[in-house]
Amino acid sequence: MKIIGIVLAAGQGKRMKSKLYKVLHPVCGKPMVGHVVSTLEGLQTSRTVVVVGHGAEAVQAYLGERAEYALQEQQLGTGHAVLQAGPLVADEDALTLVVCGDTPLISEETLQGMIGLHQERGAAATILTAVVEQPKGYGRIIRDAQGFVTKIVEEKDCTDEERLVKEINTGTYCFDNRKLFAALAEVKNENSQNEYYITDVIGILNSQGERVDGYVLDDAAESIGVNDRLALSEAEQAMRVRINRKHMLGGVTIIDPASTYIEADVRIGADTVLHPGTVLRGSTVVGEDASIGPQADILDSKIGSGVAVKYSVLQDAVVGDGSSVGPFAYLRPGADLGQNVKIGDFVEIKNAKLGDDTKVSHLSYIGDAQIGRNVNFGCGAITVNYDGFNKQLTEVEDDAFVGSNVNLIAPVKIGKGAYVVAGSTITHNVESGDLAIARERQVNKSGYADKLRAKFAAKKAASKLKS
């Protein structure tokens, strides 16, 4: 049977006290609503409808064509929100999952389990529930002798016996789609808030003799709904534990999971080791047998197999197999390293492609450059790529040697196998096989250092006499 997903994402989220719309707050690098939609995509929903209200344009801009949208102009309760999706999906024969956009921890496995129970028991509705030690404030799940749900009782309406029940409603549901919208048409707003609640659908279905079931979460943390910054931090922590566990079970060694931060969309190959202080963000991909960290911060980068990165920052960079980066290197956007490249301490690479086996060992800057294979940059060598108006290209061909403290003033080209002598400032092309030297001839003045010291000492003495 087809599955329809309805994501409730219209609330303003005042308790977040933020200019950012609530469901767009990130958890492990991805907006909360993005986690929910990704989970539904994993279930291969035939349609996913996101009900938007406050911040509708921002949510649509983020999700794009991954979903359809229904607008809830006035926030009149959860039942009213689901009803806004009716014109799009009410007539379909399907199972409908109703999920809140601020519950990023709901997993694909949990929803699959709930759907399985729903179909096995022939239910019209199945409620995702959780058993918690402190149920205060939550709606209690009341079941009959067969285990079917007879009602959801809100805290304020509980009897003394019902208040002892520890099974709660999480706000996620599975419905027979047609029965859902038929029941929604009967929901009234005769309550203190004058709102239409989706929980009333449960009572309506029961009164019609339909079966309502409950699927109990294995991990109650999945039900966390984020309404403030405290809950956001709890969701972040729980998600981080889940992500780290997934990678470790997949063959990645994480030396200290508590100090390792991996965002949701990061991919890591087997036998890679992550050392303490590693932060992997965005769409970063790490190959097999790599060693990352300590203290590596990598964003939206592609790291090859057998790579070592430590005490370094990488953003929008590519690092080829067998290369090493750091310590204390900075690979900025456009850095593209071939295989077996060495980038050493206090080296910065920006918008530059470096060929295989090239070495930039220390204290250098390579920007806006095309560097060949087996090139050596000495300590302090730099490309001078900006003339105050435009960025210019430096080209260095295979097997060239660039000595220490060389300035390559772009645009300039160093030919294959050329040799640039240390301390040179190069403003013209160097042909293949040539040696370039561009510095003043050294002059030694005999005894002049002693004369300077005497002159300075005399000035200092005279100054003291005046004072």
User: Rounded to an integer, what distance in angstroms lies between the CA atom of residue 289 and that of residue 281?
Assistant: 19
Q: Determine what percent of the chain is predicted with pLDDT higher than 70.
A: 100
Confirm if 156 and 140 have CB atoms less than 8 A apart: no
> Contact at 8 Å (CB) between 430 and 414?
yes
CB 22 within 8 A of CB 235: no
- Residue 398 exposed, middle or buried by CB count within 10 Å (0-12, 13-18, 19+): middle
Distance CA 272, CA 308 (A): 10
What is the distance in angstroms between the CA of the first residue and the CA of the last residue of the chain? 98
pLDDT at 460: 87
* Annotated binding-site positions for UDP-N-acetyl-alpha-D-glucosamine: 8-11, 22, 72, 77-78, 139, 154, 169, 227, 332, 350, 365, 376
Which amino acid is present at 179?
A: K
Looking at residue 350, its pLDDT comes to 98
> What is the tens place of the pLDDT at every residue in 126-162?
999 999 999 988 999 999 999 999 999 888 888 989 9
- Report the pLDDT value the prediction gives residue 462, as an integer from 0 to 100: 86
In whole angstroms, how far apart are CA 300 and each of 308, 313, 318, 328, 448? Answer: 17, 11, 9, 19, 57
Give me the active site residues, please. 362
Q: Are 40 and 67 in contact (CB under 8 A)?
A: no
CATH topology for 252-436?
UDP N-Acetylglucosamine Acyltransferase; domain 1 (2.160.10)
- Residue 167 pLDDT level (bands cut at 50, 70, 90): very high
Closest by alpha carbon to 331, among 299, 359, 284, 363?
Answer: 299
* Every domain of the chain and the residues it spans: 3-223, 252-436
- Say if residues 254 and 274 touch (Cβ distance below 8 Å): yes
Residue range 242-265: average pLDDT?
Answer: 98
Q: Which residues contact 298 (CB under 8 A, 6 or more apart)?
A: 278, 279, 280, 281, 284, 286, 292, 309, 313, 314, 315, 317
Q: How many helices (H) and strands (E) does the chain have?
A: 9, 39
Gyration radius (Cα) of the chain, Å: 32
Length of the chain counted residue by residue: 467
Give binding residues as ranges: 8-11, 22, 72, 77-78, 102, 139, 154, 169, 227, 332, 350, 365, 376, 385-386, 404, 422, 439
Return d(Cα 211, Cα 331) in angstroms, integer: 59
The 10s digit of each residue's pLDDT in 94-131 is 999 999 999 999 999 999 999 999 999 999 999 999 99
Strands (E), 364-434: 365-371, 376-377, 382-384, 394-396, 401-402, 407-409, 412-414, 419-420, 425-426
Structure confidence at residue 13 as a pLDDT band (50, 70, 90): confident
- The Cα–Cα gap between 223 and 100 comes to 10
Specify the pLDDT at position 463. Answer: 84
Residue 12: what pLDDT? 80
Query: Which pair of structure tokens corresponds to residue 112?
Result: 């699959």
CA distance 115 to 118: 5
What span, in angstroms and rounded, lies between the C-alpha atoms of 56 and 69?
9
Q: What's the average model confidence in pLDDT over 163-182?
A: 96
pLDDT for position 302 = 98
Q: In sequence order, which residues have a C-beta less than 8 Å from that of residue 166 and are 6 or more positions away?
A: 131, 132, 133, 135
Please give the average per-residue pLDDT across 196-202, as a whole number.
93
Just give the CATH number of 3-223: 3.90.550.10
Mean pLDDT of 273-297: 98
Among 134-148, 218-232, 267-281, top mean pLDDT goes to 267-281
Cα separation, 246 vs 322, in Å, equals: 25
Report how far residue 325's alpha carbon sits from residue 36's, in angstroms, rounded to the nearest whole number. 36
pLDDT > 80? residue 467: no
The rounded distance, in Å, linking the Cα atoms of 244 and 361 is 33
Q: How far is CA 60 from CA 23, 64, 65, 96, 425, in A?
A: 12, 5, 8, 21, 53
In this structure, how many other beta carbons lie within 10 angstroms of the beta carbon of residue 99?
A: 25
Q: What angle in degrees, to the nearest 10, is found between the helix axes of 199-207 and 177-184?
A: 100
Largest CA distance in the chain: 110
Which residues have a Cβ under 8 Å from the Cβ of 285 and sit 6 or more positions away?
266, 267, 268, 301, 302, 303
Residue that the structure tokens 């027979």 belong to: 176
- Per-residue model confidence (pLDDT) at position 193: 79
Residue with tokens 């984020």: 226
Strand 267-268 vs strand 285-286: parallel, antiparallel, or unpaired?
A: parallel
In this prediction, residues 331-338 reach a mean pLDDT of 98
Sequence ranges of the binding site for Mg(2+): 102, 227
